[in-house]
Amino acid sequence: MNELPPIRGTLTQDRPLADLTWLRVGGPADWLFQPADREDLALFLRNLVPEVPIFVMGVGSNLIVRDGGIRGVVIRLGRGFNGIEIADGLVHAGAAALDMHVAKRAAEAGLDLTFLRTIPGTIGGAVRMNAGCYGSYVADHLVEAEVVTRQGESLVLAVSDLRLAYRSSALPEGWVLTRATFRAESGDPEALSARMEEQLARRDASQPTRERSAGSTFRNPAGFSSTGQADDVHDLKAWKLIEGAGLRGYSLGGAQMSEKHPNFLINTGGATAAELEDLGELVRARVREASGHELAWEVVRVGER
């Protein structure tokens, strides 16, 4: 790392990561790099030894960093990547822009990206995971995404290049999303704002939004998120399978499956990353025994135990 050229961002050695995640657990990164802008990021990656692993994190909203921390470099995008611009019916958002801010800015301009309002995290994570709710997904609106490759090359990818699917994309490991462009239908700003307020109320009524959680813990075996419509079925929703296995409110140390929404893994105050992950694995095993269905993690787990 000492052979790197000068950077304009911040590079910190042995940086604890717990305070950068919503679950507030995890050990340190060998190095945490916060680039000043895309050029700074590209220069850093271009000159980084290829053998050094990197991990890109946003605001840590769907992340368990294991207690042993992360080897290599963690890249966290900040102010140089959170701009939001709206022109000609398109919304251009930096990867570090919060989903909720993008939804609100778009609504003010009369563009409907309201589904983003209740999704925790940043645009970079939303694109990488094809985030969605209420029957809408990033894939329905994304036009293109700007990335910096592991070799430091800047590219623009069409939405088809990303092969977006339920909670997944084909973005290669080590590539960093820096900006995304969305197309949205027009709508009345007041009506769009009212819809987002209704969605927030529904979310707060059904999810433990005041607890330390990382959002939905497991993907729905049904292969799609809740639509919020009257005909939405729950038989193959992760929460229903967890409840059917008798695990609503089940706890292990400081980790607990929420009483309010059993697909939310929460830190009740003193959980370790190991307790959170072990409880998740226990849930997967019990659901497999009770229903025969295999739950896949939606929360990303990284680092060493």
* Residues annotated catalytic, as ranges: 167, 216, 298
Strands 70-76 and 54-57: parallel
Sign of the torsion formed by the C-alpha atoms of 82, 193, 158 and 73:
positive
User: Which among 80, 92, 93, 90 is positioned nearest to 9, based on CA atoms?
Assistant: 80
Nearest to 239 by CA among 212, 269, 215, 268: 215
Work out the number of other CB atoms within 10 angstroms of the CB of residue 202: 13
Side-chain-facing half-sphere of 71: CA atoms under 13 Å: 5
255: left (phi over 0), alpha (psi -120 to 50) or beta: beta
